[in-house]
Structure 1
Amino acid sequence: MNARTEPGKAEPVSPARPPIARELLLVAGLFLVYKFGRQLATGHTAEAFRNAHDVWHAERWLRLPGEGAVQSLLLHGDTLTEAANTYYAAVHFPATLAFLVWLYLRRPAHYVWARRVLAALTAAALVLHLAFPLAPPRMLAATGLVDTARVYGPSVYGPPHSDHLSNQFAAMPSLHFGWALMVAIGLIVATRSRWRWLWLLHPLLTLLVIVGTANHYWLDALVAGALLGIVVAVVRAPRRRAVTSAGRVVARGVPVPAAADERVFTRAGAGR
């Protein structure tokens, strides 16, 4: 038996799932760091409003479309506005959690990659939140925008001076958009369905919601997308398995035994 056929030399067909207890602790820790890290940026109200004016004027200098163009579409009806507020409040964390759970159960290797990307993106975002506190457009009178959550509900924020559960001056970058974009990218990379590109509708809808509800500027989303691009370039996704002309599955250049071929194709078909 040579090195190409010896079982101990070949990589496993399906990577083992990380221990679930450890993963629960890691994900819970990521969430706590996200929440408590944002609190460190509180107490910079004056600086946050100065930065908000700078961002607003920078967008006009860059000739970006006004956020009011999106909000005006929402304000045509109370139902649409309430739906956007609900999406902002209720989809962010559950969608990301469902994404991680699905990857953990069905694509373990992609789960580890996605968890690392989300952790790195969140850490980078927290650094920017500390370095560049930013009041959202709903607080800036110069924008002329309506705080749709306060007027129409539901709202996840209280008055800034008494809201001790969140930092409302951590608008840039938008993790709402960054996480939504990662969910779409992760599902596109991890699946092979011809319809997988439709997952991009999630970050697109999230972008329209965060801008239309006046919770974020366009630049908040652009910076989040740029940070995610850097992280994804550094934290490489797992390779796809290729099929040779003989119908053998090759995992990173190592031929998988025929019995394993069948299991891979069975799982691949079930996962579409």
Structure 2
Amino acid sequence: MKWLGQVVIVAGSWLFYLLCRHVFEGSGRIAHEHAEDVWSFERTLRLPSEARLQDWVLGSDTAVRGINAIYQHVHFPVMLVTLVALYVRRREVYRWFRDVLLLTTGLALVGHIAYPLAPPRLEPGLGMVDTGLEFGQSTYAGEPGTGFTNQLAAMPSMHVAWAALVAVAVIVCLRTRWRWLAPSYAALILFVVVVTGNHYWLDGIVGLVLLAFSLVVLRGRLEPAQRPADASRLRAR
């Protein structure tokens, strides 16, 4: 029944994360002010316009519906499948993966609380639309400030950070050259969260920075776990 303990740890941590985001939801006024600051800073950095990218995709209803579906249905299932697969097949990697996941998400929670940020879809002045709402595929039941979901927690993007962590796990666990295609999954998720108007480029970038920090802090949890396998290969020779 050891697996039940892991379910409690992961599910309990996720519920705690959601509860804190809800309880400490920031001011709408401040979140909108931060949105203006982020948008302006991105233009200073000469990052591509999220609005122009969305305009390009809006030319195809099929493409937008597909992107909305990815935003709705891919994020959590992929993470769940990865956790289960690692627990069943690569227990030593699972422990490292779980710890990196919890640390990254915990750091993100600090960001959500300290820097409330309205996503582009809630900022009409930026020229973007809520593609989920427009096509009847929205994952949000009501207006910001209602319900349990904190819609003003755009910074950083956990969609992007989690997708990148899954990609890292694939690279660590597999030996085929095809594993180097895994980062394309993270790139796809970054594209999806931007096109749907749920995040700015900077949200994804900050999410990746937090993930990188967690990987560095917890790198020692992975290296010892890999040594037995390496040693067995050497003995086999």
* TM-score band w.r.t. shorter chain: over 0.9
- Give distance in 1, aligned partners of 2:108 and 2:132: 24
Where does residue 268 of structure 1 map in the other structure? none
- Give distance in 2, aligned partners of 1:161 and 1:108: 40
Residues 1:23 and 2:15 are matched in the alignment = no
1:199-248 CA-partner distances (Å, limit 9, x unpaired): 112111101000001100000000000111111001012353489xxxxx
Residues 1:92 and 2:75 are matched in the alignment = yes
Residues 1:180 and 2:163 are matched in the alignment = yes
Where does residue 231 of structure 2 map in the other structure? 250
Does the 8 Å CA contact 2:144/2:150 hold for their aligned counterparts? no
- Give distance in 2, aligned partners of 1:25 and 1:172: 27
Shift in Å at residue 43 of structure 1?
Answer: 4.8
1:93-122 CA-partner distances (Å, limit 9, x unpaired): 110010111111111111000000000000
Give the secondary-structure state (helix, strand or coil) at the position aligned to 1:133.
coil
Residue 104 of structure 1 aligns with an amino acid whose one-letter code is Y
Alignment of 1:68-107 (within 5 A): 68-107=51-90
Structure 1 counterpart of 2:31, from 48, 66, 69: 48
Task: In structure 1, list runs of 5 or more residues that go unmatched.
Answer: 1-17, 244-248, 263-272
Shift in Å at residue 41 of structure 1?
Answer: 3.0
Residue 222 of structure 1 aligns with an amino acid whose one-letter code is I
Structure 2 counterpart of 1:153, from 127, 133, 136: 136
- Higher helix share goes to which structure? 2
Does the 8 Å CA contact 2:26/2:152 hold for their aligned counterparts? no
Where does residue 66 of structure 1 map in the other structure? 49
Where does residue 215 of structure 2 map in the other structure? 232
- Could you say which structure has the larger radius of gyration? 1
- Give distance in 2, aligned partners of 1:51 and 1:124: 19
Residue 158 of structure 1 aligns with an amino acid whose one-letter code is A
CA 1:43–1:133 in 2, change beyond 3 Å: closer, same or farther? closer
Task: In structure 2, list runs of 5 or more residues that go unmatched.
Answer: none
Please give the TM-score of this superposition, normalised by the length of structure 1.
0.81
Count of matched residue pairs: 234
- Give distance in 2, aligned partners of 1:99 and 1:230: 21
Where does residue 6 of structure 1 map in the other structure? none
Alignment of 1:253-272 (within 5 A): 261=236
1:50-81 CA-partner distances (Å, limit 9, x unpaired): 11111011111111110023212321111110
Shift in Å at residue 38 of structure 1?
Answer: 1.2
Shift in Å at residue 33 of structure 1?
Answer: 1.6
Where does residue 131 of structure 1 map in the other structure? 114
Does the 8 Å CA contact 1:71/1:213 hold for their aligned counterparts? yes
Runs of 4+ in 1 over 4 A off after TM superposition: none
Where does residue 269 of structure 1 map in the other structure? none
Residue 231 of structure 2 aligns with an amino acid whose one-letter code is V
The alignment-based identity, stated in percent, is 41
CA-based RMSD of the aligned residues comes to 2.0
